[in-house]
């Protein structure tokens, strides 16, 4: 493959990856193609590196990375600018009592360019980058199905989940504090010290931080324990703006508030819990418990509610937008220019290699295969490539390249199902070779030595025996239909493989 071809291929892939935006991105494409031809020597080395990459690496570096960047940019735009505007309006209208629309608008505009406000953006930006990092590291393409409660608890108490949940809670607490500091002058930012004697300042900060962490905890639990980190392609892919608009609907926001602890009941529960905890700590430290009753003032409650609602909506948007950007479908070339080159590396950027990969690339490849198999006349040219035969030789390489990974996946899936449903029909394990030095009894007759049981099996049998006891049985007994559910959780690419053939 020549560098020019590779450049064209990467460029083609990139423009296809733009997906729904191709219609109105003509100038961008033109500038890209012009740039590619002009600065070709500069990128020669880079393209050589790209050519040597495996499909997963190429996908990660050339596609996924930019999706992360675009998702983060969109999130920052939506979730910092929009809440800032809401908080600024609240500050102007409620806190300052100004109803003049001219002043409201001028305040809104100046808040965006005010240096101190801009400096504060560092904190939410850092929070969002932290959240984005967690999302990038934690998303999965197949649902997690715990087989028993022990597995559930093990995941919940695993250091990785605890650490990441802690980061989510910290980010949420900082964001809640940031939102309230924007909305009301009585709520200083966390990094700004409280004035001496202002006991309410500390209490307000602590309440806001607690509620932020509370929402963060809800989100982290849903994310890590209830498959909130599952990303699968949507049934249909309109423009991203449409999907974002749909995720901004009132219904979605209400669902987000109910899911992430910003509903009325959950809010009261959290405040009540915080009060009880604070009073308990006061009593232990011989303080006055009446001091904590002062947090029941209206502005604080309103601000807390505003912050939790904004936070719940922000987190929901974060999850949805990340999902939208990551799972955007793209076309993978069925045959590449290097197919005619017999010396070419087998790991080229082709559909057959992507189908054999794993993770999100495999899912998107099977999605592409499914759409390729549809009767849409726009797929005719790509479909003809699938059935093309090689020249010379006349081998259906493209067809076999698609069929083999698909059949392998289906075969593995069927094997797992068969193993689960009919374990007795599996071929028996061949007996271990008998040792040459046979044992003898007292009469010098040879006695067959029982084969040694592997340690793993002994541990398993020991654990199984523990199930008889109620305490251990609670943790170790299988959850209803969990093995089948765990198998079917990975069935999506299999279904698309079947539909694609």
Partner 1 sequence: MINLQYLPPPPACGLITAYENDGRLRALGSREALATTRNWLGGQFIEVMVGQEPVRTAHSKQEAREAFSAHTETSWQRVMFAYYEEGWEASLEEMIKGKDEGSLYQVASTVASFILKVCGFIARAQALLPSPKNTVSSPITPLAVRGSGGSVVSVAWHPHTNTLAAVFCDDTIRIFAAGRSISPLLKHRLQKSIMHIAWMPYSASLLAVGCECGILLWTLDPVNVVTRPSGSCVSLLAYPSATPINSLTWHPKGNLLACVGGSSSQLIVWDVGREVPVVVHSGTGGSISLVLWSPNSSRLFVAYSSKIMRVFETRDWTYEQWSLESPVKSAAWSCLGHLLLFVTQDDPVLYYLGFIPGEDIGGTQVAAQVADLTQTLVTDEDGEEISVGGAVRQLAWDPRSERLAIVFRDTECVVLFHTHTHPTLHLSPGGFIRGEAGHIAVSVSFQENLCSGAVLSVVWSSGQVQHLPMRYSSREPLNSSLDTSLFSASVPVRVAHNSLLNSSIPRNTSMGYAGSSVMSPLIGGLFTSP
Binding mask 129-168 for partner 1 (x = CB under 8 A): ----------------------------------------
Q: Which is nearer to partner 1, 104 or 491 (CB)?
A: 491
Q: Does 26 bind partner 1 (CB under 8 A)?
A: no
Tell me if 490 sits within 8 A of 415, measured CB to CB. no
For partner 1, the binding residues in 339-358 under the rule CB under 8 A are: none
Q: Give the 3-state secondary structure of 352-375.
A: HHHHCCCHHHHHHHHHHHHHHCCC
Alpha-carbon dihedral sign for residues 270, 272, 278, 280: negative
b/e sequence 295-328, b meaning 16+ C-beta within 10 Å: beeeebeebbbbbbbbbbbbbbbbbbbbbbbbbb
- The residue range among 42-50, 95-103, 104-112, 245-253 that interacts with partner 1, by the rule CB under 8 A, is 245-253
CA 410 to chain centre: 26
Q: Does 248 bind partner 1 (CB under 8 A)?
A: no
Phi and psi, residue 408, nearest 5°: -60, -45
Length of the chain: 501
Q: Which is nearer to partner 1, 376 or 415 (CB)?
A: 376
To partner 1, the closest distance from the beta carbon of 371 in angstroms equals: 8
Q: Which is nearer to partner 1, 96 or 232 (CB)?
A: 232
Q: Does 18 bind partner 1 (CB under 8 A)?
A: no
Tell me if 128 sits within 8 A of 82, measured CB to CB. no
Q: Quote the CA–CA distance of 128 and 376 in Å, as a whole number.
A: 40
Selected from 40, 109, 162, 246, the binder of partner 1 by CB under 8 A is 246
Q: Does 430 bind partner 1 (CB under 8 A)?
A: no
Helix, strand, coil share (%) of the chain residues, nearest 5: 70, 0, 30
Tell me if 354 sits within 8 A of 59, measured CB to CB. yes
Q: Quote the CA–CA distance of 132 and 439 in Å, as a whole number.
A: 64
Query: Three-state DSSP class for 163?
Result: helix
Q: Does 456 bind partner 1 (CB under 8 A)?
A: no
Selected from 112, 163, 238, 287, the binder of partner 1 by CB under 8 A is 238
- The residue range among 154-162, 237-245, 405-413, 430-438 that interacts with partner 1, by the rule CB under 8 A, is 237-245
Q: Does 487 bind partner 1 (CB under 8 A)?
A: no
Tell me if 278 sits within 8 A of 155, measured CB to CB. no
Q: Which is nearer to partner 1, 242 or 461 (CB)?
A: 242
Selected from 106, 242, 384, 461, the binder of partner 1 by CB under 8 A is 242
Q: Which is nearer to partner 1, 461 or 484 (CB)?
A: 484
Q: Does 384 bind partner 1 (CB under 8 A)?
A: no
Q: Does 230 bind partner 1 (CB under 8 A)?
A: no
Q: Does 70 bind partner 1 (CB under 8 A)?
A: no
Q: How many CB atoms lie within 10 A of CB 215?
A: 31
Q: Which is nearer to partner 1, 378 or 444 (CB)?
A: 378
- The residue range among 47-55, 285-293, 297-305, 372-380 that interacts with partner 1, by the rule CB under 8 A, is 372-380
Q: Does 485 bind partner 1 (CB under 8 A)?
A: no
| Residue 446 parent element (H or E) | strand 446-447
Q: Does 498 bind partner 1 (CB under 8 A)?
A: no
Query: Three-state DSSP class for 78?
Result: helix
The footprint of partner 1 (CB under 8 A) covers 19-20, 22-23, 232, 234-239, 242-243, 245-246, 249, 251, 371, 374-378, 380, 492, 495, 499
């Amino acid at each position: 493959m020549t560098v020019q071809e590779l450049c064209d291929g990467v460029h083609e892939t990139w423009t296809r990856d733009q997906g729904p935006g191709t219609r109105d991105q003509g100038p961008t494409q033109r500038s890209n193609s012009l740039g590619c031809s002009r600065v070709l020597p500069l990128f020669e080395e880079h393209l050589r590196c790209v050519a040597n990459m495996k499909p997963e690496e190429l996908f990660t570096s050339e596609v996924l990375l930019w999706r992360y960047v675009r998702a983060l940019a969109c999130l920052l735009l939506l979730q910092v600018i929009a809440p800032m505007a809401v908080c600024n309006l609240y500050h102007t209208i409620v806190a300052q009592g100004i109803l003049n629309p001219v002043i409201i608008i001028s305040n809104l505009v100046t808040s965006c360019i005010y240096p101190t406000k801009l400096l504060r953006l560092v904190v939410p930006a850092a929070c969002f980058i932290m959240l984005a990092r967690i999302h990038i590291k934690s998303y999965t393409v197949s649902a997690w199905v715990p087989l028993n409660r022990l597995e559930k608890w093990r995941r919940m108490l695993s250091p990785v989940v605890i650490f990441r949940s802690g980061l989510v809670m910290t980010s949420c607490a900082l964001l809640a504090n940031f939102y309230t500091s924007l909305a009301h002058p009585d709520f200083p930012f966390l990094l700004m010290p409280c004035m001496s004697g202002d006991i309410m300042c500390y209490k307000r900060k602590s309440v806001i931080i607690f509620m932020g962490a509370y929402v963060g905890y809800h989100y982290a639990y849903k994310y890590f324990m209830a498959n909130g980190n599952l990303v699968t392609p949507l049934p249909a892919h309109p423009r991203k703006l449409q999907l974002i608009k749909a995720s901004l609907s009132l219904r979605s926001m209400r669902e987000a508030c109910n899911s992430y602890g910003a509903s009325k009941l959950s809010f009261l529960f959290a405040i009540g819990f915080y009060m009880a905890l604070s009073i308990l700590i006061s009593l232990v430290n011989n303080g006055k418990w009446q001091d904590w009753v002062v947090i029941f003032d209206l502005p604080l409650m309103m601000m807390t509610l505003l912050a939790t609602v904004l936070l719940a909506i922000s987190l929901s948007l974060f999850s949805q937008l990340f999902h939208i950007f990551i799972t955007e479908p793209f076309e993978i070339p069925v045959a590449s220019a290097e197919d005619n080159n017999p010396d070419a590396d087998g790991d080229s950027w082709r559909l057959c290699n992507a189908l054999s990969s794993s993770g999100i690339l495999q899912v998107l490849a099977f999605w592409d295969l499914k759409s390729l198999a549809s009767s849409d006349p726009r797929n005719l040219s790509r479909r003809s490539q699938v059935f093309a035969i090689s020249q010379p030789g006349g081998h259906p390489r493209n067809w076999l390249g698609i069929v083999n990974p698909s059949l392998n996946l289906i075969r593995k899936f069927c094997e797992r199902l068969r193993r689960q449903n009919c374990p007795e029909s599996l071929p028996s394990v061949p007996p271990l070779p008998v040792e040459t030095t046979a044992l003898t009894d007292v009469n010098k007759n040879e006695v067959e030595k029982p084969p040694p049981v592997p340690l793993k099996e002994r541990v398993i049998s020991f654990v199984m025996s523990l199930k008889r006891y109620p305490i251990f049985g609670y943790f170790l007994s299988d959850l209803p239909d969990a093995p089948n559910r765990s198998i079917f959780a990975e069935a999506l690419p299999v279904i698309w493989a079947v539909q694609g053939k």
